[in-house]
Amino acid sequence: SFEASIPAASRDLWQQFGVTEFQDKEAFQKEFIRHVETTLARSMYNCDDLAAYLAASQAIRDRLIVAWNKTQQKHTTKDQKRVYYLSLEFLMGRAMDNAMLNAGVKDITKTGVDDLGFKIEDLLEQEPDAALGNGGLGRLAACFVDSIASTNYPGWGYGLRYQYGIFKQRIVDGYQVESPDYWLAFSNPWEIPRYEIAIDVMFYGYTRKYTNDQGKTVSIWEGGEQVQAIAYDVPVPGYDTETTNNLRLWASKPTREFDFEKFNSGDYESSVRESQKAETISAVLYPNDNFYSGKELRLKQQYFWVAASLNDIVRRFKKTHRPWSDFSDQIAIQLNDTHPTIAIVELQRILVDMEGLEWDAAWEIVTSTFGYTNHTVLPEALEKWPVPLFGNLLPRHLEIIYNINLFFLQKVEKMFPKDRDMLARVSIIEESSPQQVRMAYLAIIGSHKVNGVAELHSDLIKTTIFKDFVAIYGTDKFMNVTNGITPRRWLHQANPKLSELIASKVGSYSFLKDLTLLKKVEPFAKDPEFIEKWADIKKFNKARLAALIKKNNGIDVSVDALFDVQVKRIHEYKRQQMNIFSVIHRYLTIKAMSAEEKKDVTPRVCIFGGKSAPGYYMAKTIIKLINSVSEVVNKDADIGDLLKVVFIADYNVSKAEIICPASDISQHISTAGTEASGTSNMKFVLNGGLILGTVDGANIEITREIGEENIFLFGHLAESVDDLRHQRRFNDVPINPDLQKVIDAIEGGMFGDKDIYGSLIYSVTGNRDYYLVSDDFQSYLDAQKLVDKDFKDKTTWVSRCITAVANMGFFSSDRAINEYAESIWNIEPVAK
Ligand code: F58
């Protein structure tokens, strides 16, 4: 079996040959050629960019695997506590550039392929994004595994190997059209299939009570359908360290015995159909962002991934022959949102049903192992599973949940004997019809720490959705860990020129490991020479984006205009509708101007990008409106270069790497209290752009760090939102007059058939306007005006950008990971 070892006597021989890692250009080229000729079975007469990308990747992959092996051996020997990060999404983007950078072979690879007649940039472009996520939550997981490796913590990610990542978006006639993202078409050099690591996972079936040898009545789960989870390992190299951690992704396969009976009896078709059904579990990523949809297949995905991961974790623990009481001293498991919450129940089931521990002892282990991160307060995003669906798929787990709930409610009843409502409010089971399992409550009850992802958000969960749980557990269980981003990808890779300029003042690239060193560039915010270099780099980055816009949209934009960017998933709470309304307002204003007045206008390019969930009608309407406005404005001769509107199709990680460094202003304008943190806000500022934003999520902490003179804030505060909504619902609050003009223009047919926008307009007028577009509109326009004015003073503008960047050190995901490690996971970095 794969666990057998080389006999001691032969190990010398093994070590003598070992594997070597290429150290210079020539050695790389040798590896490259070997991979073209052997791995790919091609030749020098038959090697295009794709083949060259694959061969170079294979050479780099070999290095990663050697480092991976060393790291895993070291971790096994040291036997320290490890963390497992369970996330249903890892939005990794491309791997090649990052692997070269982190492994320290970027220069030799670049010159190596150059000599052979290729351009490294062309090879990098061949790689499809690993787009196994929807947005912020998935990208956060990707930044976190990078940081866990870069800070030398022993930690693995566990996720699903979707065959189809987030759909590809095209714009046809102004509308979003989705097509499948078949990212695995040309083999994936960045994964190691481990066909030998195959774990059986069961669904459905029934539970049966019986009396065991000790005379105890126990429940067992049997009679269900089996599928197999196959491990695919993705090496995660740390930057400038020896650590290469693992991201283990599970793919579903039929079990080996799958319907052998049927197959044998000649019923091929139904046998094949059944086996295809097993494979559909990990086939596709659900494309919703901040929205819960209770589909059985989604719950199957969750349990499949959780069961395989826990089986793997427990198996690794059992190999150490430690007592169960050591479990949480050796293992921390972080739940990225409620999607893996069933892990709490699964571990309890393993310990009680399979390993024979007493309930209380098992529960102590479970709760000290798990931590839960919440990413939203939006009610429509909170997971609740209908009890009948849940009990049918996972009958034993439902029993265990009822037990957990019973013991929990007994405790609550003792604490609050007079508060009957309390029991109904905090019960894991919601008494609706049908009953629902509230996953967030289960996650809180089964974890020792619960955290939000930015200060405001962490305060809000304590005072709103989880208020009762603070009364029960006290405040210590609830904490904040503000999100972060990896500076390797989001500064150095995305913006190599800015990174180089910063390095020239810091003295080295050490800020990529300790981002607080950015502070060293602050004195140069007043240095004319530095300012000029900085401005040149921004211009270069804007030209790079302008070229992408020309290529994808056929629109010419001037790099001298203010680049105003809002790229993120399309959602009413993120308020792209407010942005496009203000663009229409700008258009109407310019159109009404005299030639003389126009001379004063700051030219702007308004750039949008982002996907709508396929079933989200309102978000799709917003996309259509943006594209219709773009059509009208861009060809209007009265407007010329004063205003351009661009929708960049298929926004993804690779496009973000081009877009972030090119913004002058980026917009993070969610209704106060709705965006838990946001992370692209951090990316844009780190790349030398300013923010136009609301007092929401991490915008607040960004303001504190960079100074309020370096950010354009507007809008109502979170504390006023409930009141404003109430006002609108029960009184006749007039709509903002500037917004009314915009609506009149849309309704007058300026942007095509007005009927298309009926429901969008209705959503912000009358007594609805749930996201307070009208209430914030005036303050938004005022802030826009200030942006126009301030952008005219180029020197001061750049100076503010430099100061902002210098103070972004806090937002490194390395800092976030250190906080998790110290205050939730209780783990230490692995020494050399
Ligand atoms: C995002 N959540 C938050 N969820 O909206 C954002 O403020 C935060 O910065 C980020 O998490 C990281 O903490 C988010 O992206 C999802 O996409 C879920 C996907 C699965 C269904 C439910 C929403």
Which of 367, 375, 373, 362 has its CA nearest to residue 332?
367
Amino acid at 752: G
Which of 490, 539, 537, 545 has its CA nearest to residue 518?
490
What pLDDT is recorded for position 260? 66
Which of 243, 301, 279, 214 has its CA nearest to residue 80?
243
Catalytic hit among 533, 574, 604, 655: 574
For residue 824, how far is its CA from the centre of ligand 1 (angstroms)?
Answer: 21
Q: Which residues' Cβ are closer than 6 Å to ligand 1?
A: 134-137, 140, 288-292, 375-376, 381, 453, 483, 675-679, 697
Phi, psi dihedrals of residue 30, rounded to the nearest 5°: -60, -45
Omega prior to 434 cis, within 30 of 0: yes
Q: How buried is 79 (Cβ within 10 angstroms: 0-12 exposed, 13-18 middle, 19+ buried)? A: exposed
* CA distance linking residue 701 with residue 695, whole number of Å: 10
Closest ligand 1 atom, residue 678 Cα: 9
| Residue 228 near residue 208, CB atoms below 8 Å | no
For residue 369, how far is its CA from the centre of ligand 1 (angstroms)?
Answer: 23
Q: At what angle are helices 773-791 and 794-806 packed, to 10 degrees?
A: 110
Which of 820, 4, 829 has its CA nearest to residue 451?
820
What pLDDT is recorded for position 1? 39
The total number of residues shown for the chain amounts to 832
For residue 104, how far is its CA from the centre of ligand 1 (angstroms)?
Answer: 32
DSSP 822: I
Which residue's C-alpha comes closest to atom 12 of ligand 1? 137
For residue 818, how far is its CA from the centre of ligand 1 (angstroms)?
Answer: 21
Our mutation pick for probing the ligand 1 site, out of 90, 284, 336, 375, counting the most ligand atoms within 8 A of Cβ, is: 375
* CA distance linking residue 329 with residue 749, whole number of Å: 66
Rg (CA), the chain: 28
* CA distance linking residue 660 with residue 752, whole number of Å: 32
Closest ligand 1 atom, residue 134 Cα: 17
Kindly state the helix (H) or strand (E) to which residue 85 belongs, with its residue range.
strand 82-86
Q: Is 683 a catalytic residue?
A: yes
* CA distance linking residue 760 with residue 747, whole number of Å: 11
Closest ligand 1 atom, residue 288 Cα: 21
Place of tokens 């059992």: 318
Show Cβ contacts of residue 545 under 8 Å, excluding neighbours closer than 6 positions: 563, 607, 658, 659, 662
The alpha carbon of 241 is separated from its chain's Cα centroid by a whole number of angstroms, namely 24
For residue 771, how far is its CA from the centre of ligand 1 (angstroms)?
Answer: 18
What pLDDT is recorded for position 212? 84
Closest ligand 1 atom, residue 698 Cα: 9
* CA distance linking residue 373 with residue 450, whole number of Å: 6
Phi, psi dihedrals of residue 576, rounded to the nearest 5°: -60, -30
* CA distance linking residue 428 with residue 441, whole number of Å: 6
Which residue's C-alpha comes closest to atom 2 of ligand 1? 137
| Residue 170 near residue 180, CB atoms below 8 Å | no
DSSP structure string for 701-716? HHHHHH-GGGSEEES-
Q: Give the pair of three-digit tokens for residue 764.
A: 């912000």
| Residue 670 near residue 378, CB atoms below 8 Å | no
Q: Is 574 a catalytic residue?
A: yes
Which residue's C-alpha comes closest to atom 19 of ligand 1? 289
The count of other CB atoms within 10 Å of the CB of residue 596 is: 7
Q: Give the pair of three-digit tokens for residue 331.
A: 């293992």
Place of tokens 């491309």: 94
* CA distance linking residue 186 with residue 49, whole number of Å: 13
* CA distance linking residue 655 with residue 93, whole number of Å: 10
Closest ligand 1 atom, residue 457 Cα: 7
| CA-based end-to-end distance of the chain | 31
Show Cβ contacts of residue 643 under 8 Å, excluding neighbours closer than 6 positions: 583, 586, 587, 590, 603, 604, 606, 633
For residue 368, how far is its CA from the centre of ligand 1 (angstroms)?
Answer: 25
What pLDDT is recorded for position 378? 95
What pLDDT is recorded for position 497? 98
Angle formed at CA 34 by CA 116 and CA 11, multiple of 5 degrees:
140
* CA distance linking residue 388 with residue 436, whole number of Å: 9
For residue 334, how far is its CA from the centre of ligand 1 (angstroms)?
Answer: 16
| Residue 579 near residue 669, CB atoms below 8 Å | yes
Which residue's C-alpha comes closest to atom 9 of ligand 1? 678
What pLDDT is recorded for position 10? 87
Show Cβ contacts of residue 334 under 8 Å, excluding neighbours closer than 6 positions: 83, 84, 85, 86, 370, 371, 372, 373, 820, 824, 825
Q: Is 74 a catalytic residue?
A: no
Q: Is 568 a catalytic residue?
A: yes
Amino acid at 26: E
The alpha carbon of 2 is separated from its chain's Cα centroid by a whole number of angstroms, namely 34
377-405 as b/e: b if 16+ CB within 10 A:
bbeebbbbbbbebbbebbbbbbbbbebbb
For residue 497, how far is its CA from the centre of ligand 1 (angstroms)?
Answer: 31
For residue 623, how far is its CA from the centre of ligand 1 (angstroms)?
Answer: 20
Catalytic hit among 569, 571, 604, 644: 569
| Residue 300 near residue 281, CB atoms below 8 Å | yes
Catalytic hit among 63, 489, 568, 585: 568
What pLDDT is recorded for position 289? 74
Our mutation pick for probing the ligand 1 site, out of 298, 376, 671, 675, counting the most ligand atoms within 8 A of Cβ, is: 376
- Domains in the chain (CATH in brackets) are 22-78+96-128 (no CATH), 81-94+129-385+439-482+819-825 (3.40.50.2000), 562-802 (3.40.50.2000)
Closest ligand 1 atom, residue 291 Cα: 22
List residues bridging with 370 in a β-sheet.
Answer: 333
Closest ligand 1 atom, residue 483 Cα: 13
Closest ligand 1 atom, residue 138 Cα: 15
List residues bridging with 667 in a β-sheet.
Answer: 692
Closest ligand 1 atom, residue 290 Cα: 23
Which residue's C-alpha comes closest to atom 17 of ligand 1? 289
Catalytic hit among 679, 694, 800, 815: 679
Which of 684, 724, 687, 718 has its CA nearest to residue 700?
718
What pLDDT is recorded for position 648? 99
What pLDDT is recorded for position 3? 57
For residue 376, how far is its CA from the centre of ligand 1 (angstroms)?
Answer: 7
Q: How buried is 107 (Cβ within 10 angstroms: 0-12 exposed, 13-18 middle, 19+ buried)? A: exposed
Phi, psi dihedrals of residue 500, rounded to the nearest 5°: -65, -40
Catalytic hit among 25, 349, 624, 683: 683
Please report the ipTM that was assigned to this predicted complex. Answer: 0.98
**What is the three-state SS of 617-664?**
HHHHHHHHHHHHHHHHHHCCCCCHHHEEEEEECCCCHHHHHHHHHHCC
Which residue's C-alpha comes closest to atom 11 of ligand 1? 137
| Residue 472 near residue 450, CB atoms below 8 Å | no
DSSP-based three-state secondary structure for 612: coil
Instruction: Give the CA dihedral 76, 77, 79, 83, nearest 10 degrees.
Output: -40
Which residue's C-alpha comes closest to atom 23 of ligand 1? 290
Our mutation pick for probing the ligand 1 site, out of 86, 137, 612, counting the most ligand atoms within 8 A of Cβ, is: 137
What pLDDT is recorded for position 2? 46
Residue numbers of the chain with a pLDDT score lower than 70: 1-3, 256-263, 290, 766
Our mutation pick for probing the ligand 1 site, out of 89, 289, 813, counting the most ligand atoms within 8 A of Cβ, is: 289
Pairing verdict, β 384-386 and 478-480: unpaired
Q: Give the pair of three-digit tokens for residue 767.
A: 């007594």
The count of other CB atoms within 10 Å of the CB of residue 309 is: 26
For residue 166, how far is its CA from the centre of ligand 1 (angstroms)?
Answer: 14
